[in-house]
Each structure stands twice: as structure tokens, then as C-alpha cells.
Amino acid sequence: MQNTISQHSFVGLVTELTSMKFKDARRVHTSFSAGVERRTLVWLADRMPAWLNSDHLTALGLISMAGAGLAYWAARWNKWALVAAVACLALNWLGDSLDGTLARVRQCQRPRYGFYVDHICDVFAALFLLGGMAASRYMSPLIAAGLLISYYILSAEVFLATYTIGRFQLSFFKFGPTELRIVLAVGNVFLLFKPISHLFGHAFRLFDIGGVVGALGMVGITISTAIRNGSQLYREEPLPERMRCEPGKVKS
């Protein structure tokens, strides 16, 4: 009888936990293009065919970023493959940005599934993109690796803050994913005509300069936001009074 009661209690607990409403994190998106992009995405979502759903768009975003990586790899033999990389970046924007908007417009959100799948795809998309850039000879493999690691570190901070604080930061200092795609596309145009730049009297690959700046920027953002978020959590969850006593001393 006792085992039966325990089993019923366990099943009841599991049912209660799984039925709890998931609270979606507050999205913070204040980039330069956020307003125009939001209106454009809603306009597109209203005109998408009924058979197309968010999963299709998420897949498009991942596949197109793999295509961008392949295009960079092909550019080591034919520089005009950089144009194909720009086209793939545009398709990635469409898939990666529209999937969530489509779900919200159609009121068929799956918050946990959508967040997980979208961002695990982003993890692989960054690997595909920077792997292709490292193989293109337009960026040093070492700098590409540093840029990828910096991106992963910043992503980890964003995901941790999303879980612990309930704030999903999509942009920093007015720059978000869309602005980064635009900068990368413009950089591709410069690569076609001037892949080498001179700085302090030395010649450097244009994407090496951009990669170092990007990596340092992401590391700096990660450190500053980690300090800010850590301080906020410390204030919201202060150390219990009993833990503040000196070792060996107990308050009476």
C-alpha cells in the first residue's frame, strides 16, 4: 500500500511539473534595424503560404549558413563565390529571423522547443560559417578559431542570463545578428577588389582585422555583461546571514 501511495505521489508530482506554464524570457532587441526589421518580418509572415511553418524556416537558416561556409571555401579558387556567400547570408536572415515571427503571428508558439532548436542551429551555423572562412584563405584559421570561441563564450553568457534572469539579449550596443550579416556582406564586396589592408605600415588580410576586432568586442561584451548580471543576481539572492559569520564563530 505504501509503495502504491508513493508511486501515485511521484506521478502526481511529475504531472504537476510538466503542466506548469513555461514563462518565456523577455526579449531585448534594440539594434539599429530592429524597428524596420520587425515590421518587415510581420509583413512577410502574413504572406507566407499555409504549408510553410517555422521548422522549414529554421532549416533554411541552417542550410543557408552551411552554404555560406561552402561558398567561402570555394572562394579560395574563385573569388566570385563571395557573391554566393552574400546570397546565402540573405537566405539565412530570412530563415533565422522569420521562424519565430511566423509562429507568433500564427499564434502557434512552442517556446521551449523553438528556443532550443533555433539556438542549437545557431551553434552549428557559426561553426559552418567560420569553418568556411578559415578555409577560404581570406581569414587566418587561428583568427577564425578565436572568433568562433568568442562567439560561443558570448552565447553561453546570453543563454545563462536568459535562464537565470529571464532576459534574452538579442543585441548589444545597437548591433544584432542582422547588422553583423550586413557588415559581413559589405566586407565580401571589399574582398572582391581589395582583400589586403594596410595598418600601421603593415599589410593584413581585411578579414583578419575584422576577425580580431570582432573577437575582442565579443570578449569585452561578455565580461561586462557577466559582471552586470552577476551583480544583479548577487543583490537579488544575497548571502544568508549565517554564512557571513567568521569561521569558528556562531551568532547567539
Q: Which residues contact 168 (CB under 8 A, 6 or more apart)?
A: 25, 26, 27, 28, 158, 161, 162
**DSSP string across 159-178:** HHHHHHTSEEE--BTTB-HH
Q: What is the pLDDT of residues 74-104, one digit of tens each?
A: 999 999 999 999 999 999 999 999 999 999 9
Which of the four pLDDT bands, split at 50, 70 and 90, describes residue 198? confident
With a pLDDT cut of 90, the percent of the chain lying above it is 70
Residue 13 has pLDDT above 50, yes or no: no
Q: What is the pLDDT of residues 117-175, one digit of tens each?
A: 999 999 999 999 999 999 999 999 999 999 999 999 999 999 999 999 999 888 888 88
| DSSP symbol at 1 | -
Q: What is the pLDDT of residues 205-245, one digit of tens each?
A: 899 999 999 999 999 999 999 999 999 999 998 887 665 65
Q: Is 79 helix (H, G, I), strand (E, B) or coil?
A: coil
Distance, in Å, from the CA atom of 154 to the CA atom of 113, rounded to the nearest integer, reads: 21
On whether the 26-239 domain is CATH 3.10.20.30, my answer is no
- What is residue 19's predicted lDDT score, i.e. its pLDDT? 41
- What is residue 21's predicted lDDT score, i.e. its pLDDT? 63
3-state helix/strand/coil string of 13-35: HHHHHHHCCCCCCEEECCCCCHH
- What is residue 241's predicted lDDT score, i.e. its pLDDT? 67
pTM, two decimals, is 0.84
Rounded to the nearest integer, the mean pLDDT of the chain is 87
Distance, in Å, from the CA atom of 89 to the CA atom of 140, rounded to the nearest integer, reads: 21
User: One-letter amino acid identity for 149?
Assistant: I
- What is residue 12's predicted lDDT score, i.e. its pLDDT? 44
